[in-house]
Structure 1
Amino acid sequence: MSDDYRAVNRALWDERAPAHAASVDYGLDRFTDPGFLSEVVRFDLPLLGSVEGARGVHLQCHLGTDTVSLSRLGARMTGLDFSPAALEHGRALAAATDEPVDFVVADVYDAADVLPARGFDLVYTGIGALCWLPDIRRWAGVVARLLAPGGRLFLREGHPVLWSLADPRPDRLLVLDYPYFEQTDPTVWDEEGTYVATDARFEHNVSHEWNHGLGEIVGALLAEGLRLTGLVEHDSVPWDALPGQMERLPGGEWRLADRPWRLPHSYTLQAAKPA
């Protein structure tokens, strides 16, 4: 497969990084409170448990708000992202909060080539990351190479059923329209704006994305020798995924307003590398 998708997607993320950093949605200024954690990590805490002393890497970390939050919980964190513009803000946030986080610019598929193999007790991947990757088996191989024996993967992601839904309809029906299973060809979007509140206007609006079925993700990790230790589906997601059809919950999550039990919104998956 051509690597053109990387250049297209990187241009989109590089251009949006300053708008994200300035937005109230990411709220970088709130991190001046030494006890503040990102809403994503706060949601994760009951399943995440203690990370005190763990060597952790956050793949596709964007601005590093979750990376810094994990550092505040006692993990020794490295953040990796392919967007230099995003990591400029991550480094500034770590410096402003005096958190000892290292940030590395690299594509996620190259992570095990630029970071220590078997060097991490925790591989953390946050929401909205896997949809940018064309090959979930290749990603699972990277995770397996990064994990030390006995280490674990913690992944929370938008549910593939959510990603496959058609755009919100006037009749408010939930209709499966986009691929659920991984396809060779991406779904190509050309959309202005971004997922945070901003007045910024952007020139780079094309993105290439892929969905991955839940069985494909689990199967890829099992094929790499990891052991599934947890899988929980959630009825909320941390962004307004279906505008006009969702309600905001305390803590920053969003949920389908009408009979939310119809839709798996997100999931948390954990897997361990045998010791």
Structure 2
Amino acid sequence: MTDYLDLNRANWDERAPSHAASDFYHVEDFVQDPSYLSDVVRFDLPRLGDIAGLRGVHLQCHIGTDTVSLSRLGARMTGLDFSGVSLEQARTIAARAGADIPFVQSDVYAAREVLDGDFDLVFTGIGALGWLPDIKRWARTVASLLAPGGRLFIREGHPILWAAEQDRPDDLVVLSEPYFETAEPQIYDEGGTYVSADAEFTNNVTHEWNHGLGEIVTAVLSAGLELTGLEEHRSVPWEALPGLMRDIGGGEFQLRDRPERLPHTYTLQARKPGAV
């Protein structure tokens, strides 16, 4: 099971510079406009509420654009990721954007070992949980990081979406991948990246896992957190099913045909009991 970290890290290390240079992450917008926020964070502004002054950590932060966005909302953020190359890009982007954010390299399961103190906010964004083999261990890690009264905030691709087959020759939505967490990973060997299908890389093998929505909620509750919000959405911030989706603005995509058939993403919030 340790091999998955090396394989996946090599994949992200190789792709991070391309991601930072792409239009997808809007790095120049962050640099030129001190009020600019990522589409992912902007989508959830009504749910985030006032986070000014909170001590927060962004787990699996990649190149840090969501981390910078949360910092711009007034939170005192730290970013954590297992990819050293991604964090090099994150530090450069934060410095260019005028954000004072420490970035720490670590496997997410070891976050408690490398981060000092407790946090008022643990944030996890799109496309993070699928790289983790054990959702219960993740939830215990989150709980260990939170101060009493602290909050978990996650927006993630819906497990139904992750289970859907991509690149079909027709307009059908077909579930072909596991919905529930499995002991063994799904192993993929795919070139390119979500910002450019034509880019060429050498580290293309990844190990990934899906986690059912019930498994995620149960893991959060079993870790001692109180669920305070769960909302499913009819859009996703990239063209997750190529050829089947339309751009609806704000960086969001949804099924062209009857989007109400499919939960695209969800936002989950939970609180650690205790004094605020």
Q: Provide TM-score, normalisation by structure 1.
A: 0.97
Tell me by how many angstroms 1:8 deviates: 0.3
Letter of the structure 1 residue corresponding to residue 14 of structure 2:
E
Q: Deviations over 1:168-190 (max 9, x none)?
A: 42231111111111000000111
- Which residue of structure 1 aligns with residue 76 of structure 2? 76
Distance 1:188 1:72 in 2: 37
Q: Deviations over 1:103-126 (max 9, x none)?
A: 000000000110125x10000000
Count of matched residue pairs: 273
Confirm or deny that 1:268 pairs with 2:267: yes
Distance 2:197 2:84 in 1: 21
Distance 1:177 1:92 in 2: 39
**What SS does the corresponding residue of 1:25 show, helix, strand or coil?**
helix
| Contact in 2 for aligned 1:168/1:245 (Cα 8 Å) | no
- Which residue of structure 2 aligns with residue 133 of structure 1? 132
| Contact in 2 for aligned 1:19/1:198 (Cα 8 Å) | no
| Contact in 2 for aligned 1:60/1:129 (Cα 8 Å) | yes
| Contact in 2 for aligned 1:229/1:270 (Cα 8 Å) | yes
Letter of the structure 2 residue corresponding to residue 167 of structure 1:
Q
C-alpha change, 1:149 and 1:134, in structure 2 (3 Å) is same
Q: Deviations over 1:196-215 (max 9, x none)?
A: 03753100111100000001
Q: Provide TM-score, normalisation by structure 2.
A: 0.97
Question: 1:166-181 to 2 correspondence within 5 Å?
Answer: 166-181=165-180
Letter of the structure 2 residue corresponding to residue 56 of structure 1:
G
Tell me by how many angstroms 1:262 deviates: 0.2
Question: Which structure 1 residue ranges, 4+ long, deviate > 4 Å from structure 2?
Answer: none
Distance 1:95 1:202 in 2: 28
**What SS does the corresponding residue of 2:238 show, helix, strand or coil?**
coil
- Which residue of structure 2 aligns with residue 161 of structure 1? 160
Confirm or deny that 1:223 pairs with 2:222: yes
Letter of the structure 2 residue corresponding to residue 223 of structure 1:
S
Q: Deviations over 1:222-245 (max 9, x none)?
A: 011100000000000001110000
| Contact in 1 for aligned 2:136/2:219 (Cα 8 Å) | yes
**What SS does the corresponding residue of 2:130 show, helix, strand or coil?**
helix
**What SS does the corresponding residue of 2:24 show, helix, strand or coil?**
coil
| Contact in 1 for aligned 2:191/2:199 (Cα 8 Å) | no
Distance 1:265 1:215 in 2: 16
| Contact in 2 for aligned 1:172/1:245 (Cα 8 Å) | yes
- Which residue of structure 2 aligns with residue 54 of structure 1? 54
Distance 2:96 2:197 in 1: 23
Distance 1:124 1:204 in 2: 28
Letter of the structure 1 residue corresponding to residue 56 of structure 2:
G
- Which residue of structure 2 aligns with residue 4 of structure 1? 3
Distance 2:220 2:15 in 1: 31
Distance 1:260 1:36 in 2: 29
Stretches of structure 2 that go unaligned for 5 or more consecutive residues are none
C-alpha change, 1:173 and 1:200, in structure 2 (3 Å) is closer
- Which residue of structure 1 aligns with residue 35 of structure 2? 35
* RMSD over aligned Cα atoms: 1.0
- Which residue of structure 1 aligns with residue 232 of structure 2? 233
**What SS does the corresponding residue of 1:5 show, helix, strand or coil?**
helix
| Contact in 1 for aligned 2:192/2:200 (Cα 8 Å) | yes
Distance 1:252 1:79 in 2: 23
C-alpha change, 1:143 and 1:251, in structure 2 (3 Å) is same
**What SS does the corresponding residue of 1:249 show, helix, strand or coil?**
strand
Distance 2:258 2:70 in 1: 33
Tell me by how many angstroms 1:68 deviates: 0.4
